[in-house]
């Protein structure tokens, strides 16, 4: 059961991120470069939820927006779906460590 990530609207303070799978050529075979035991992943924000509620009910917006290039821990997030060259992850806003300068 796959979910075209771009059809989804994440809720509350969740974020959907697209990570491009880099590809290595071995002979004629294109091998997806599985992320070596790296600590981090890079990706682009596809969509974000409204944000989370503070204790008194006001909304605290997500700290990133669609289009931001971001860094997150390798073992964080749930894989939503995959396409030929990309994986789509759902993460909480607080799991996004940093964004790259534009």
Q: Which residues bind a second copy (CB under 8 A)?
A: 1, 3, 7-12, 14, 16, 35-36, 38-40, 42, 49-50, 53-60, 63-64, 71, 73, 78-80, 90, 94, 96-101
Residue (28 or 69) nearer to a second copy, CB:
69
* Angstrom distance (rounded) from CA 82 to CA 19: 10
- Least distance in angstroms from the C-beta of 86 to a second copy: 16
- Nearest to a second copy of 28, 102 (CB atom): 102
| Phi, psi for residue 27 in degrees, rounded to 5 | 60, -130
SS3 5: helix
How far apart are the C-alpha atoms of 5 and 66, rounded to whole Å?
A: 13
């Amino acid at each position: 059961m796959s979910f075209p990530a771009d059809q989804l609207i994440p809720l509350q303070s969740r974020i959907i991120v697209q990570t491009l799978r880099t590809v290595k050529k071995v002979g004629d075979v294109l091998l997806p470069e599985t992320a070596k035991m790296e600590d981090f992943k890079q990706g682009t924000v596809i969509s974000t939820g409204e944000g989370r509620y503070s204790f008194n009910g006001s909304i605290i917006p997500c700290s990133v927006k669609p289009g931001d290039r971001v860094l997150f821990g390798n073992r964080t997030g749930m894989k939503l779906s995959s396409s030929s060259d990309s994986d789509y992850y759902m993460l909480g806003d607080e799991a996004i460590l940093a964004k790259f300068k534009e």
